[in-house]
Amino acid sequence: MDEPLTVRPDFDRLRRTGDPEAIYGAGKSVAQIVAALRALTTAHPERAILVTRCSDEALTVCKRAFPTASIDEVGRTVVCGPLPSPHGSVAVVAAGTSDLPVAYEAMTTVRAMGSAPFLLADVGIAGLHRLLAQRDRIADADAIIAIAGMEGALPSVVGGLVGVPVIAVPTSVGYGLSMGGVTAMLAMLNSCAPGVVVVNIDNGYGAGVAAARIARAIGSARAGISSDA
């Protein structure tokens, strides 16, 4: 029972899946985060390493320990190391102000995984005109991340407007019987628009990985580059 409580990253993942392991910051001590980030950036000097769900303290310590790292206080992420050239584009569509932290986590992930994100915020369905005004921008993306809490209807409306793959992210925004995002998640899984796929509640990172893989494969193919995810 004297094994130390170290973090052992999966250094082989980049070879198998085309992306290095990311560090999920929640539930880890700041020391564990720093150690893991140092190990992964050393092992993969040519690729940006992503840390998600950082506490205020973790953001501060990382800023000091990795001066060149890029810190996002809204999405609570740290990115350290050279970003890959972006291929393809991802529209990140968010219903309300409170969904922005999840949107920022998704955007940072998309960028770190090699695609180009852009944000359309405050386009919730109680004010449809704002969303309809952006229809053409959305239709031009290679993948869409649609983020909403409460009744979670935004991905269905988006999925009825365009034929781009839609990744829906339920958020824990809401009150009463929103049940921490379960209502939104159930609504998204029952979308009447075909082809909407869903990730876990508040999982901007997961949506970002999926969207980046789709968009960069399309973008790479368009550019005549063979991707090997």
Nearer to a copy of itself, 67 or 176 (CB): 176
Whole-number CA gyration radius for the chain: 18
Kindly identify the residues of this chain, within the stretch 92-121, that bind a copy of itself according to CB under 8 A.
95-98, 100, 104, 107-108, 111, 119, 121
Q: Kindly state the smallest distance separating residue 35's Cβ from a copy of itself, in Å.
A: 11
Q: 147 in helix, strand or coil? A: strand
Q: Kindly state the smallest distance separating residue 31's Cβ from a copy of itself, in Å.
A: 12
Nearer to a copy of itself, 63 or 126 (CB): 126
Q: Does 86 bind a copy of itself (CB under 8 A)?
A: no
**Cα dist from 175 to 100, 127, 181, whole Å:** 17, 20, 9
C-alpha angle with apex 60: 55 to 61, nearest 5 degrees?
100
Q: Kindly state the smallest distance separating residue 117's Cβ from a copy of itself, in Å.
A: 8
Nearer to a copy of itself, 42 or 221 (CB): 221
Per DSSP, 20 falls in state: P
Nearer to a copy of itself, 12 or 57 (CB): 12
Q: Does 186 bind a copy of itself (CB under 8 A)?
A: yes
Per DSSP, 88 falls in state: S
Q: Kindly state the smallest distance separating residue 57's Cβ from a copy of itself, in Å.
A: 18
Q: Does 67 bind a copy of itself (CB under 8 A)?
A: no
Nearer to a copy of itself, 81 or 219 (CB): 219
With beta carbons less than 8 A apart as the criterion, state whether 167 and 144 touch. Answer: yes
116: which 2 tokens?
Answer: 């180009």
Q: Does 191 bind a copy of itself (CB under 8 A)?
A: yes
Kindly tell me the number of DSSP H helices and DSSP E strands found in the chain.
Answer: 9, 9
Question: What are the backbone dihedrals phi and psi of residue 83, each rounded to the nearest 5 degrees, phi first?
Answer: -70, 140
Q: Does 184 bind a copy of itself (CB under 8 A)?
A: yes
Instruction: Name, in order, each residue with C-beta under 8 angstroms of 17's C-beta and a sequence gap of 6 or more.
Output: 229
Q: Out of 41, 55, 72, 134, name the contact with a copy of itself by CB under 8 A.
A: 72
Kindly identify the residues of this chain, within the stretch 116-175, that bind a copy of itself according to CB under 8 A.
119, 121-122, 124-130, 132, 142, 150-153, 156-157, 159-165, 167, 173-175
SS (H, E, C) 153-196: CHHHHHHHHCCCCEEEEECCCCCHHHHHHHHHHHHHHCCCCCCE
Nearer to a copy of itself, 44 or 178 (CB): 178
